[in-house]
Chain A
Amino acid sequence: MVFMTGAEAFIKSLEKENVEIVFGLSGGAILPICDAFNESNIRFLLARHEQGAAHMADGYARASGKVGVCLATSGPGATNLVTGIATANIDSSPVVAFTGQVPKDLIGRDAFQEVDIIGVSASITKYNIQVRNPNEIPYAVKAAFDISNTGRKGSVLVDIPKDVQTSAEEMHFPDKVAFKGYRIIGEPDPRELDWAATLLARAQKPMIMAGGGVIASNASSELLKLAEFMMAPVATTLMGKGAIPSDHPLYAGGCGMHGTCEANSLIGEADVLLVVGARFSDRTTGSIQEFSANSKIVHIDIDRSEIDKNVETVTRVVGDAKLALKGILKRLEKVRETGSPDSPWIKKMKEFREKYAIPEPRDNPHFKAPSVIKTLRKILPRNAIVTTEVGQCQMWAALYFDTYAPRTFLTSGGLGTMGWGFPAAIGAKAARPDVTVVDIAGDGSFGMTENSLATSVEEELPVIVLILNNRMLGMVAQWQRIFYGRRYVAVKLGKTPDFVKLAEAYGATGIRPGDTMELEKAIKDAMDSEVTTVIDVPIDPEENVFPMVPPGRGLKDFLVEA
């Protein structure tokens, strides 16, 4: 037992969780906690908008696998976090948000900068809690970290009234907290593993669809072993990109609305589809009725409530993906031979691969988005981390940027939050300062959080922002072209701003390459630069992302041109 203030106990609790860095902004209702940072080595990284702070914490969490921490004041500080918390939660990223709150006796009286953030954040967090007494702080912080980073990961919000930060009490720092209602099923039920293995053992055309859960549970090597043993092609969901190296012979590419024709076709043909750590989002499945209609589906997920939520499965394994994959492989090895690389199924895969091979894109003479991304990939080291914004740039990145390791392709999948990529890149750089970090951006998305340039420059976290600049909200424009007869509304962004000058105004480097050679040089220079570089690449406003499955259609109904 130690006697200290709530703010001091808060800092001590973070230290006990080995927190190195907090992304946030100060403000009235969080002043006592801000002050307590003076007595700590924890780095307070000052964002310029709370949304940016939350995305930075999210990027940090996804790149490192550790909990990302963000902090804001009450009222507008807290509501500005909302988009960031929701983005992290739906992508199962472990983020803990701390908010200041007006003193307890003012709560409910519409005090200055008072918002009921517990009510607001209830449906976009895994858990939230308001601390009512200083001596509850160590418990609440411990609980927040535990809940955020175990089971199906997610965001947790802890709201701390100002008087709770300032009052002092005897504090006890627990090493463990327990909840009666929080149970994590890690180890799968052996019977479920038996059933899954039985089904997979009989498969003639096995296919694996890997989601973000494979990355969250660090199960990539188990996934590869199983895929190679069965000779099963692997498709990834958007969140699963990186679960298997893009140059692996069994990798069929991404699946879903902007998946590869190869992956989407194979999913339609498979007889058993093993889905690992994915939640059958509408963007992944297309029409639910038509999804993988010829296959029996085996679903591995740590969250029982995901089973049969969107797609009916034949059998399921509830538990940690790594353990589940290991358990299935162990059983399969006893009853089935290693798959043959000459099987008709693998031939089918090769046939699709050849049939739908995309010709090497070229900048001819103007930049083409796919070719810009290929140029970037060629120059970056294999371990570079890429974040994306949302829209066309994101889908081009998903299709054309080869990824070789988990946690190197970070994107806002579930919420599709424009403006996520840049602050997330800064967070990723904070987690992995030794690695090159690039945000593949669009001009629309980048504009939403461009003020994070100040943070990246002042906090010396240099990243590269590669803007595929079409002066359009490109994906919406693409839909208006294809589905609304080119009747553009609210998509043309005009000529401003000049992103080169904008970067320079923040003390970053801005450059607008004129051709592929200049682009290559710009990327190389940016990798060596000590400040953030914004590379503004003008592309054709009319360029579409293909392949594309029109909304509501089955995955095999992909379009390859307009």
Chain B
Amino acid sequence: MEQTISTIAFLVENKPGVLFNVTNLFRRRGFNIESITVGPVENQELARMTVSVKADTKVINQIVEQLDKMVDVIKVKRLDPMRTVMREMVLIKINTIDPMSREEALKCVNEYHGLILNIEPDSIVVEVTGEPNTIDEFVRKVQPLGVIELSRTGVTALEKGHLKL
């Protein structure tokens, strides 16, 4: 069965245990969640989660049904990649002891419309936002310069047009 990355968005009750119950369903089928983002929505009682996971399409459809029947899950939708905007952010700390690599790093950041958040004599912290593929690309580019550490937020997504969850 073909494994593809699916992005699933849900609205859930904003309370303890819900995240556990949701991720538990993926764990049971042995899926490693590639990324998960959670945050409250307009109405603070609810939270919106975005999960991306690599799995068989058929099994994902069934997991979506199982998520939908959970009492604390209000709505679930598997997002159509063609009809969705997706964004992820990465914070990345680059080693800049070598002035050449500092220059190279700044060039890359500019190219990816990133922001420089902190400058130390021997390192910089930068922020880049984009589609997950773009982030992968950026990370690959700065890797040779010496990445001290990085942190990715995971994908967050909204459907295009007037569609909503």
Residues of B within 8 A of A (CB): 12-13, 17, 20-21, 24, 28, 46, 61-62, 65-66, 68-75
Contact = CB atoms under 8 A, between A and B. Distances in A.
A305 interface: yes
A122 B21 contact: yes
Interface string A108-124: 00000000001100110
Nearest to B13: A181
A307 B61 CA distance: 11
B24 A179 contact: no
Contacts of A147: 71
A506 interface: no
A148 to B, nearest CB: 11
Closest A-B pairs by Cβ, 7 of them: A305-B65, A181-B74, A180-B74, A305-B66, A182-B71, A127-B71, A181-B73
Contacts of B75: 181
A253 B53 CA distance: 43
Contacts of B12: 181
Nearest to B76: A181
Given A180-B74, A181-B71, A305 B20 contact: no
B21 A181 contact: no
A179 B73 CA distance: 10
B28 A123 contact: yes
Contacts of B65: 304-305, 307
A308 interface: yes
A309 interface: yes
B71 A179 contact: yes
A127 B72 CA distance: 9
Contacts of B70: 181
Nearest to A304: B65
Nearest to A147: B71
Contacts of A122: 17, 20-21, 24
Nearest to B75: A181
Contacts of A309: 62
A194 interface: no
B17 A180 contact: no
A123 B61 CA distance: 19
A313 to B, nearest CB: 13
**A152, A305, A307, A308: which has the most chain B beta carbons within 10 Å?**
A305
Contacts of A303: 69
Interface in A169-202: 179-182
A69 B20 CA distance: 26
B24 A123 contact: yes
Nearest to A181: B74
Contacts of B72: 179, 181
Given A305-B65, A308-B62, 5 more contacts: A123-B28, A181-B74, A304-B65, A305-B69, A309-B62
Contacts of B71: 126-127, 147, 179, 181-182
Nearest to A305: B65
Contact of A180 (B13, B61, B68): B13
A119 B62 contact: no
A309 B58 CA distance: 9
A305 B13 contact: no
11 contacts: A122-B24, A152-B69, A180-B74, A181-B13, A181-B74, A304-B65, A305-B62, A305-B65, A305-B66, A305-B68, A305-B69
A308 B72 CA distance: 24
B118 to A, nearest CB: 36
A309 B61 CA distance: 9
